[in-house]
Structure 1
Amino acid sequence: MDELMSCMHCGFCLPSCPTYRQTGLETYSPRGRVALMKGVARGQLPVDAEFAKNMYACLGCRACETACPAGVPYGSLLETAREVVEGDKKRAGKAPLVRDMVFKHLFPHPNRMKALGTLLWAAQATGLQKLAGRTGLIRLLPREMAEMQQAVDRVASPLKRARRQRVMRAERKALHTVGLFTGCVMDVMFYETNQATARLLIKAGCDVVFVGAQACCGALHAHSGEKEGAVALAKRNIEAFEQAGVDFIVNNAGGCGAALKEYHHWFHDDPEWKERAVAFVAKVRDANELLAELPPLRFAKELHVRVTYQDSCHLAHGQGIRNQPRQLIQSIPGVELVEMNRADQCCGSAGIYNITHFDLSMELLDDKMEEVKKTGAHLIVTSNPGCLLQMKQGIARAGMQGKIEAVHIMDLLDRALG
């Protein structure tokens, strides 16, 4: 209640909120949602379908936190509100079976995620994915899934993943030993980006360890009101990296990193685990953040391209990391960085928002692509897997294939290493 009461309803958050700007609805603004939360907390409003709709219509981009003069911790308030919604559904026996399968039986199990990746690789390697597109079978999928699949690049084969070195040694005298947080979706769909991140770190003077016992960061659980599942995953990761004994825990996904840096807030009522979480959080670094602190990378190639940077919401608003990615991009010989208007406005990906709220997500994406066009860029660079998929989808929707490419910043830097 103290956190809720810190909101003065001043309205500074309104221009920064994508859903409010698109709809003009007060209940689709941070100020309006906080007012609804206050009503529920005081027992003046029910936890009904309307309350749930307004809470889940939020992207969770946290741009309002950047704009808020009172420092309202909107992200954690939203997670708590959704936890209340899901708790109410469970007590009423209304929890959907598919949701249960995803949060309890898929994401917490790395081997099942890898098996899913192997199935996707097989569909791509055998040509089934292309065949489904050519024959129109892809239209049997829901529209949001059918559009998204065209943004998915070729995934790494199971053989390639099995050959990964557990430890990669620094090419110069090791300054640090870092544990790479590989993520769940990240390591399945963007395995090569994780490998590129490791190569950059060893070039910059780090020994890199791929910690085997790590699990999903828990962000998707926390953002979806499944706090118990998020806490269980946090404990697994804390234990895994404690045993690894690394100096830093490095990640390359803005959404994962924001969750990892907030683990200590998930253990308010557990002093022992909170102390361990505080020690864990002290070691967490985004890859952009750490690379900007290390000796400059020595690039072997010039990349004569015009680049625009799309901020990951949870990197910019959640972690306050804005300058480091831009500094790294500008350090590449031959690159011209052109800022787009509202670079830190959400692209509409927001975890699974582009599936659960497809139409609104695509409105935001189409607006974003209009800003991209104005830059005349050859590359859209971002620092989060969800944003990367969304931008690839945006290129396809805008009919700009072959004219512009979306790339993760770690892959761009790796290209310049030669």
Structure 2
Amino acid sequence: MTRTNQELLAKFNMDEIMNCMHCGFCLPACPTYRETGLESQSPRGRIALMKGVANSQLTVDAEFEKNMYACLGCRACETACPAGVPYGSLVETAREVVEDHKKSETKPPFLRQLVFDRVFPYPERMKTLGTVLWATQSAGLQTLANKTGLINILPREMAEMQQAVDKIASPKERKKREPVMKADGETALRIGMFTGCIMDMMFFETNQATAQLLTKAGCDVVFVENQVCCGALHAHAGEKNGAVELAKRNIEAFERAGVDFVVNNAGGCGAALKEYHHWFHGDPEWQERAMAFVAKVRDANELLAELPPLTFTKPLEVRVTYQDSCHLAHGQGVRNQPRQLLKSIPGLELVEMSGADNCCGSAGIYNITNFDMSMQILDGKMEHVKKTKAHLIVTSNPGCLLQMKKGIIRAGLEGQMEAVHIMDLLARAL
């Protein structure tokens, strides 16, 4: 075995791999296993493959890569696992091994380098991308492309998913944002708002609504300068070094801000932020700083449920069903707080759907990279949604929100049902 291969395989944590008892409790919890029935598409099957690679019994080949990337990373298996196997970190390590192995043999594709090295780490470039999307929508080019069929020049996955993209905030609207939003009345806490990259580009109004809710709850909200992407997309795609560098920049930015809490409204981002300390094994200084940062991280639902109750003055006579974000429910254990907040809105009827915490198939960019499987999972989810006869599907993550909007279109429920982020719904009732 070459030195390069030894270094790659050393990334696997054999203690965590060996903790898997292959009991099978994870099987019914896994979306890809439920759809395919294949052992290699289950958590225990993938862990067995990792063990084979780590022991040099199997190679890091195309089949191994396919099975690792077929996973949605929803982490429902972690909730089901009696042994507490940290499957999420294991599959991220497996993907890191895949990508490092490929880089040792050939240069990464240009598009991959563009996304992970040239766009997501730079907030100003993300803002520019948002402005381009806004201009495209404002000029009517998106509508024209859909009507004339020109949209089909895009890959099928992107052509399909763009249907779910709502109107993006204008540059003028973005410039109106104040660096600090003051609390209504006496200030109880100073909150650092983690805006996120995709979240702030495509769901700017949701970030503003979240900040407004926090000010109503007695918080000063600071839009912290120099924050960057959380690094979740990098980590999920095997780009661990890039994820670590982004984590360092965020830790430094929020240290300088001197805030009581770091609040976010995206389940996927929040799960990554709360796990920063696991990204710095072998680096005691940064691990200590990361642990101090993690201690302050809260999902917006989590913090609002702890603060004095909001006073809602506008009754909403609607039937609502709540779709759990996988990384909020399974990754962070935040389940009851969103439901508690929804129940506090006058007039609102909350109807639980079957399998509310089953993955919707979004999983970051999975609905682009594994479109057919993603839509298969989504169609199954929508069957459960239909049975609730809800007016609104509420969720707590931007990827889930786009996916549920797509689900409404696929199910032919446009005009009958709306997908909405919980923070936007709460703001409606203020």
Q: TM-score, normalised by structure 2?
A: 0.97
- Give a deviation string over 1:329-370, Cα, whole Å, max 9, x none: 000000000000000000000000000100000000001111
Please name the residue that 1:354 is paired with. 367
Give 1:297 shift.
Answer: 0.3
2:70 is aligned with what amino acid? A
Which secondary structure state, in structure 1, belongs to the residue aligned with residue 121 of structure 2? coil
**Would you say 1:295 and 2:313 are equivalent positions?**
no
Please name the residue that 2:6 is paired with. none
Say which of 180, 183, 188 aligns to 1:175: 188
Please name the residue that 2:393 is paired with. 380
Which secondary structure state, in structure 2, belongs to the residue aligned with residue 217 of structure 1? coil
Give 1:94 shift.
Answer: 4.6
Please list, as runs of the form range in 1=range in 2, the aligned pairs for 1:317-396 lying within 5 A after superposition. Answer: 317-396=330-409
Please name the residue that 1:405 is paired with. 418
**Hey, what's the Cα distance between the residues in 1 that align with 2:329 and 2:23?**
23
**Would you say 1:71 and 2:94 are equivalent positions?**
no
- Give a deviation string over 1:129-174, Cα, whole Å, max 9, x none: 1111111101111111111111000000011111100000100211
**Would you say 1:49 and 2:49 are equivalent positions?**
no
**Hey, what's the Cα distance between the residues in 2 that align with 1:218 and 1:292?**
27
**Would you say 1:248 and 2:264 are equivalent positions?**
no
Please name the residue that 1:211 is paired with. 224
Which secondary structure state, in structure 2, belongs to the residue aligned with residue 11 of structure 1? coil
In structure 1, list runs of 5 or more residues that go unmatched: none
**Would you say 1:30 and 2:40 are equivalent positions?**
no
CA RMSD of aligned residues (A): 0.5
1:224 is aligned with what amino acid? A
Number of residue pairs matched by the alignment: 417
1:374 is aligned with what amino acid? K
- Give a deviation string over 1:30-74, Cα, whole Å, max 9, x none: 000000000011111000000000000000000000000000000
Please name the residue that 2:5 is paired with. none
Q: Which moved more, 1:91-100 or 1:265-274?
A: 91-100
**Hey, what's the Cα distance between the residues in 2 that align with 1:129 and 1:219?**
29
2:35 is aligned with what amino acid? Q
**Would you say 1:137 and 2:150 are equivalent positions?**
yes
Give 1:396 shift.
Answer: 0.5
1:124 is aligned with what amino acid? Q
Which secondary structure state, in structure 2, belongs to the residue aligned with residue 150 of structure 1? helix
Which secondary structure state, in structure 1, belongs to the residue aligned with residue 164 of structure 2? coil
1:217 is aligned with what amino acid? C
Q: TM-score, normalised by structure 1?
A: 0.99
Which secondary structure state, in structure 2, belongs to the residue aligned with residue 207 of structure 1? strand
- Give a deviation string over 1:65-94, Cα, whole Å, max 9, x none: 000000000000000000000000000015
Please name the residue that 2:117 is paired with. 104
**Hey, what's the Cα distance between the residues in 1 that align with 2:213 and 2:384?**
30
Q: Which moved more, 1:197-206 or 1:94-103?
A: 94-103
**Hey, what's the Cα distance between the residues in 2 that align with 1:47 and 1:66?**
28
In structure 2, list runs of 5 or more residues that go unmatched: 1-13
2:335 is aligned with what amino acid? R
Please name the residue that 2:22 is paired with. 9
Say which of 33, 53, 61 aligns to 1:20: 33
Please name the residue that 2:299 is paired with. 286
